[in-house]
Structures are given as structure tokens and as C-alpha cells.
Structure 1
Amino acid sequence: MRQGVPFNFTKSQIEVVMYLYHHQDQVVYQRELSDVLGITRPTANGLIKRLVQKDAVKLIEDPDDSRLKRIKLMPLVIADIDSRTAAFAKEFNQMEGKMTKGFTQKQRDELDQLLVRAIKNLEEK
């Protein structure tokens, strides 16, 4: 088991890990990943194989159908993501404090509204 060692993932592996992280409350099957991530099934299988080798995920045989494999993130990966998320939130809050130094609450609220609107504009197709 990897203790204190940061995980070294490729961009594609990160996509799989983050999908699994955000769907921890659901059963995710290996065969679903190709559709969910828009990649071929052999590519998805290769990603999972390498993530298993890195002790990032484990495959669990489905109790109802032995042909199906459930994918679960390992607790160490979940803890790593949780700690990075907390660190990011702390840094973001510090940056936001610097950025809005001297602003009134009304000005902060207006800035928040403008940023939300700008993000929505970027998301439009």
C-alpha cells in the first residue's frame, strides 16, 4: 500500500478517478466507462488495468452476474482527493479575501453575480 506517496496519474486516469469519486454512491461497472467518458472499450479497460496496478481502484465481481466487474476507488485515493479539495478551498478563500479587500458586502455580492453570469455565458453553445 502507498503511504504518504502522491499518486501519479495521467490525464485520462484522472478523468476515470474523478468520475468514480463523484459517483461513489453509485455502482459503476467497468463496461460503462467507455460510454460515460466517450472512449473505446479497450481504452477504458487499459485505464482500469493501470489504475488497478497503481492500487487506485479495485475490481469487484458483481454478486448477481460474475461477468460484470464493479469499480471501486481505494480509500487512500478518496482521502487524497478529499485533502486536496480542502487545501484548494483554503487557498481559494485566501485569494478571494485578497481580491475583494476593501469591498463592501454589496460589492462582493455584485461581483459574485457578475462572475456567475460570465460563467454561464462561457457555457452557452
Structure 2
Amino acid sequence: MNNQIHLSALIKQLNKQLERHKTGFTSAKVQVIAYLFEHQDKVIYQKDLEHIMNLSRPTINGIVKRLIAKGAVKLIPNPNDRRSKQLILSDTTKEEAQKHQKEFENDIRTIEKNLPLVYQPTRLKNSNII
């Protein structure tokens, strides 16, 4: 339960930071963008995000559809399996992510500093919670 409270508080703070930056993206959308940005060298399929983000297929589908509608990501059909589609960032999103990467990293560090000590990332890693 305490982990749920920690994550909820962190998500609320991230959403406030995102609103402040006027990105137009929720924390879940930013999570997908950040993951795709950090793993550009890998082939990521939409179904992979379900496991990576621990979200249901309908939730991921909704997030991806909204990101496509905003032009943030593209779906590339898999030539070997038409049912699966690779997710990639649009060129504009890549450029924006690179441009604002330091800013978002600073926001994350600021949020982490404001967390109680027991919930700070280094302590959570040492406790095997994350």
C-alpha cells in the first residue's frame, strides 16, 4: 500500500510538472515517449509496452492512439506479422525530447528530492522494491 501511495504522489507531481511545461501530454504518454526515446536502438512493439508499463492492452491502445493523433509516434507494420506494429517516435517528437531532456531530468530530480527519504530512488533500489 505504501508503494501505491508513493507512486500516486509521484504521478501527481509529474502531471503538475507536465502541465507547467504545457506539453499537452499526460504522465502516461510521457512515459511511453521517454521509453521509446531511451530505447530507439531497439524494436518496440505496442504489445511490449503492456508488459513494460504494466498496463492493460486497452489502456496502452488508448495511449498509443492519442499519441498517433498528436503526431508524436508512428506505427510501422511488421512485415512478418501484420498483427504486430512497431512503435517509433516521430522526428518532431525526437527533436523535442532531445531539446527538453535536461529540463525533464531536472524536474524528476526535484520531485525525487521532495520525496520522503524512504521513497527516494536509491533507497527503493536497495530495498528491492523496484
Structure 2 unaligned regions, length at least 5: 1-21, 107-119
Match of 1:120 in 2: 122
Match of 1:69 in 2: 85
Give the CA deviation at 1:122.
Answer: 5.0
Q: Distance in 2 between matches of 1:56 and 1:21?
A: 11
Q: How does 1:23-62 map to 2 (within 5 A)?
A: 23-62=39-78
The gaps in structure 1 that reach 5 residues or longer are 1-5, 92-117
Q: Which residue of 2 aligns with 1:8?
A: 24
- TM-score under structure 2 length normalisation: 0.64
CA RMSD of aligned residues (A): 2.3
The answer for the alignment partner of 2:5 in structure 1 is none
Using the TM superposition, give the Cα deviation of residue 13 of structure 1 relative to its aligned residue in structure 2, in angstroms: 0.5
- TM-score in terms of structure 1 length: 0.66
Residues 119 and 39 (structure 1), Cα distance of their counterparts in 2 relative to 1, 3 Å cut: closer
Secondary structure (helix, strand or coil) at the match of 2:87 reads strand
Pairwise CA distance, 1:21: 0.6
Q: Distance in 2 between matches of 1:68 and 1:88?
A: 31
Alpha-carbon spacing, 1:67–1:119, altered in 2? closer, same or farther (3 Å): closer
Report how far residue 60 of structure 1 moved.
0.8
Q: 1:68: Cα distance to partner?
A: 0.8
Q: Identity across aligned pairs (percent)?
A: 35
Deviation at 1:9, TM superposition (A): 0.4
Spell out, residue by residue over 1:85-105, the C-alpha distance to the aligned partner (whole angstroms, 9 max, x if none): 25678x8xxxxxxxxxxxxxx
Q: Distance in 1 between matches of 2:121 and 2:50?
A: 29
Deviation at 1:63, TM superposition (A): 1.1
- Whichever structure has more helix as a proportion of its residues is 2
Aligned to 1:109: none
Q: Which segments of structure 1 move beyond 6 Å, counting only runs of 4 or more?
A: none
Q: 1:80 aligns with which of 91, 96, 105?
A: 96
Q: How far is 1:7 from its partner?
A: 3.9
Q: 1:67 to 1:122 in 2, by over 3 A?
A: closer
The residue number in structure 2 matching 1:19 is 35
User: Is the partner of 2:88 in helix, strand or coil?
Assistant: strand
1:87–1:39 CA distance, 2 compared to 1 (3 A): closer
